[in-house]
Structure 1
Amino acid sequence: MGLKDDLDRYREVGEERRQDLADFIQYGDLGQSRPDEVKIPIKIVDLPEFAYDQRDMGGVGQGEDAEEGQPVGRPESQPGDGDEDGDPGEEGGDHEYYEMDPEEFAQELDEELGLDLEPKGKQVVEEKEGDFTDITRTGPSSTLDFESLFKKGLRRKLAMDFDRDYLREVLKIDGMGPASVFEWARGENIPVSKSWLEEEYDDLTSEEKTTWGSMAEMDDNVERQSTAERIRREGVDQIPFRREDERYRYPEIIEEKEKNVVVVNIRDVSGSMREKKRELVERTFTPLDWYLTGKYDNAEFVYIAHDAEAWEVDRDEFFGIRSGGGTRISSAYELAAKVLEEEYPWHEWNRYVFAAGDSENSSNDTEERVIPLMEEIPANLHAYVETQPSGNAINATHAEEVERHFEGSDNVAVAYVSSPEDVVDAIYEILSTEEVEA
């Protein structure tokens, strides 16, 4: 086993020590990842290496004052052999990262949760060229279907050709002239022209024109060959190609439906959404974003923050922004409806509308505005995630109202997250609702 084999083995061990996917979602450092690349920590396995002490350069293989049997490396008088401050094992190990794309993440999450969401394709995004299976009468010479041209020419050759030697012998029958032979040839389906017969007859001498006394005598002495037999024996010296036989290949045009999805992420950023609540939103929404990115060919995201009013933000702002205002959740759904209608029409896009907050909302807003808007916005799935680390507050009723109203619905999910341990269950609750609907 060489050094390369050792290195490969160490890498394999490192990947095996990758953080479990569920643990990563609940407790891992999500910030190291990007929307298109998920980075899961693995414990570094230190590779073996030679260490040289640069302070001691004397001797061959030993420093000055070295004694026989002394370990190579630091002299005993130097620190580094267990006498440093601090107890062994206090430091956490360094980490590297196992990188996976969202497609692999989605596949592993399906396996982890026992799901298998099959996304739907909605938008014809382009016409793609398939195999060169269609035929047209015109085209560049490079696409000429020569095989088809040759076959047509050969069929014409077989249909038009005849045994010239045999017909010359027929012309030698006493009393048979070009006109008589032409009528006989028509009856035999021999494609010969009268002019050819006349030219051949003129070339015969008087003696040759009476070579045979009858058709029967001629047949007894002359062997007749079919065109196919003659071609097999002699080959083909010329194929009668014609312009009308030319055909050109062109690619079949295939309309492909790309699986497109838009995910609208809504987050309450009002004063009551403190740091722990924001972290729970991020731990829930980020894996959902990765999952849907991996499932669909084309995924776009809209991020909406709201307190009493709503506004669009970018992804970096979404999880960190905080406002001091009150809460009116319907403002976010009003903005979501507007954005979806203008930019992501339902007949072309799969839609997911995910909202999260601590379930606190202004009086009657959930019943009078939010629920009707959820019913009006067509979507594959609506979901609301309540984040309440300390348990339900007295006025935190939004999630319960939504759950009660949409009980039994196949496109509305409500999940409750009070700690990181609840995140994976919440993701399962959301995605399994979509799985049933799909």
Structure 2
Amino acid sequence: MGLREDLERFKEIGEERREDLESFIRYGDLSGSESDTIEIPIKVVDLPEFEYDRLDKGGVGQGQGDTPDVGQPVGQPEAQPGDGDGDGDEDGEPGEEGGEHGHYEMDPEEFAEELDEELGLDLEPKGKEVIEEVEGDFTDVTRTGPNSTLDFERLFKQGLKRKLATDFDEEFVREAMRVAGATPESVYEWCRGENILVSLAWIESEWDAIPGEERGRWDSFAQMTEEVERTTAVQRIRRKGLKEVPFRRDDERYRHPEIEEKKQKNVVVVNIRDVSGSMRETKRELVERTFTPLDWYLQGKYDNAEFVYIAHDADAWEVDREEFFGIRSGGGTRISSAYELAKEILEEEYPWAEWNRYVFAAGDSENSSNDTTEKVIPLMRDIPANLHAYVETQPGGTAINATHAEEVESAFGDGDGVVVARVGAAEDVTDAIYEVLSTESGSDGGNE
């Protein structure tokens, strides 16, 4: 087996031994991943490599002149760059650079698929903007197709148009043959001047059928025109009926259904996090450990989803994704400020008639007095959404003044498209994600 095959084998072993997805979400380092690339550590198998000792200086028994005599002391060899000895230059100092770690990379779509499998979810994406082609009415036509789709009505109309355009009053032309001194050629020329579409061959075929005694009945074509009434094609069809219609293959058209493009509703996800002074490091970590995989999952499920990120303490402000995951702040807490901003953004940019909406919030459930019952809950009812979710991050159990989650739960119960999940430690994260996503799966959405 060659070195290339060895390398591929070692890579495969490493990928098979990558960190379990659920463990990665609970305890792994999420900060090294981007919004579109998730890096999961793998246990890398070290590849064999050759190493060479430097023997070019300082050896006994090899010398270039001035070879020491027996028993003469031999000095220390000169330090080489990178040996780790000597005067402590930066090339030789140990521990300056970390070792290279292996990662298994996946995109959000693969992450979503694996998370579905890992947590036992089977979610169909809601609100995913997909252009779907469906068959509409049979309004498109082509020149080929099965006989069952032949557009006979169109074929008949084309033939009838040709019939009306080429039909002429045969009796009227025969009267022209009775003009004194007329010949087939002169009758043909006269017909062309009168816009009568008749061929010279037809006139010649009918010429001998005119009795000799009837020739000369009219002194001129002008006299004949004044004396003989000319009938239209419609009059003749009404009188005699339609015996034949001149169809042509060029007139054949075959009906096909028109391909209609239908767009499902768009989806916007509003992520809200509490960054007030009570949100200490452990709480902040739990928020990010919950929201980061949830964010990856939603990006993987909804190809064209849009995300809004809102941070708040006593006031709320919109941030970008990079700032949202890693933000630090302080101050008091007024959760309603975030919902007020979310409502404003949604109404201005994402109307409910055109967008599916998901509003996810997280914090330690601590809020200013009466803000939840008097403002937040009414705002949640005023913001139409497929799902509202609140994730409480309160390590070690609920604090005395951490009542927001409980009040939301009491107001909405198990219905109304609202879910409350609790994360007290890292091992609770995947359960909270499952609770949110499974509720989203069961929600009728109201905007499908």
Question: TM-score, normalization: structure 1?
Answer: 0.65
Deviation at 1:8, TM superposition (A): 1.9
- Which residue in the other structure is 1:274 paired with? 280
Are 2:331 and 1:333 equivalent residues in the alignment? no
1:302 counterpart SS class: strand
Structure 1 residue 351, shift from structure 2 partner: 1.3
2:145, 2:254 within 8 Å by CA — same for their partners in 1? no
Partner of 1:400: 406
- Name the Cα RMSD after superposition: 3.9
Measured in 2, the distance between the counterparts of 1:129 and 1:435 equals 26
Once residues 247 and 40 of structure 1 are traced to their aligned partners in structure 2, the CA distance between those partners, rounded to angstroms, is: 59
Q: Is 1:108 aligned with 2:114? A: yes
- Partner Cα distance (2:249, 2:353) in 1: 47
Aligned to 1:56: 55
1:46–1:128 distance in 2 versus 1, CA, 3 Å = same
Equivalent position amino acid for 1:24 in 2: F
What is residue 371 of structure 1 aligned with on the other side? 377
Tell me the distance in 2 between the aligned counterparts of 1:135 and 1:382.
45
Per the alignment, residue 345 of structure 1 pairs with: 351
**1:333 to partner: Cα distance:** 0.6
AA matched with 1:411: G
For the pair 1:95 / 2:101, whether they are aligned, the reply is yes
* Alpha-carbon displacement from aligned partner over 1:95-117 (angstroms, at most 9, x marks no partner): 21111111111111111111111
Residue identity in the other structure for 1:10: F
Assess if the C-alpha contact under 8 Å between 2:128 and 2:303 holds in 1: no
Distance 1:241 1:93, change over 3 A: farther
In the other structure, the counterpart of 2:140 is 135
Closer, same or farther: CA 48–122 of 1 in aligned 2, 3 Å: closer
Corresponding residue for residue 16 of structure 2: 16
1:206-256 deviation line (CA, Å, top 9, x unaligned): xxxxxxxxxxxxxxxxxxxxxxxxxxxxxxxxxx99596275999954313
Identity %: 72
Shift of 1:3: 2.9
8 A Cα contact 2:19 2:40, kept in partner = yes
State whether residues 303 and 314 of structure 1, in contact with CA within 8 Å, keep that contact through their aligned partners in structure 2: yes
User: 2:294 aligns to what SS in structure 1?
Assistant: helix
How far, CA to CA, are the matches of 2:20 and 2:98 in structure 1? 18
Change (3 A) 1:264 1:39: same
Note the C-alpha offset of 1:65.
Answer: 6.8
Structure 1 residue 329: deviation in Å? 0.6
Question: d(CA) in 1 for partners of 2:418 and 2:40?
Answer: 30
Please state how far the C-alpha of 1:258 moved relative to its aligned partner. 4.5
Q: Which residue of 1 aligns with 2:251?
A: 245
How far off its partner does 1:198 sit?
8.4
Q: Helix, strand or coil for the counterpart of 1:396?
A: coil
For 1:385, which of 384, 387, 391 is the aligned residue?
391
Pick from 310, 313, 321: which aligns with 2:319?
Answer: 313
Unaligned runs of 5+ in 1: 67-77, 81-90, 137-143, 157-192, 203-239
**In the aligned structure 2, how far is the partner of 1:18 from the partner of 1:368?**
48
- Change beyond 3 A, Cα 1:241–1:2: farther
Question: In the aligned structure 2, how far is the partner of 1:46 from the partner of 1:145?
Answer: 66
SS at match of 1:12: helix
CA contact (8 A) 1:106 1:291 kept: yes
The alignment partner of 2:271 has SS state of strand
- What is the CA–CA distance in structure 1 between the aligned matches of 2:421 and 2:343, rounded to whole Å? 22
Partner of 1:304: 310
Q: How do residues 104-253 of structure 1 correspond to structure 2 at under 5 angstroms? A: 104-121=110-127, 135-136=140-141, 145=143, 245=251, 252-253=258-259
Cα distance in 2 between the residues matched to 1:249 and 1:102: 43
1:247–1:326 Cα change, 3 Å? same
Give the aligned length.
326
- 2:163 aligns to what? none
Q: Report the Cα offset of residue 123 of structure 1.
A: 5.8
Question: Scaled by the length of structure 2, what TM-score is found?
Answer: 0.64
How far residue 135 of structure 1 moved from its aligned partner, in angstroms, is: 3.4
For 1:396, the aligned partner's letter is A
Aligned amino acid, residue 143 of structure 2:
D
Deviations 1:303-343 (A, max 9, x none): 11111111111122223333332111111111111111111
Map of 1:45 onto structure 2: 45
CA distance in 2, matches of 1:435, 1:381: 10
Matching of residue 436 in structure 1 with residue 435 in structure 2: no
* One-letter amino acid matched to 2:38: V
Counterpart Cα distance in 2 of 1:26 and 1:260: 31
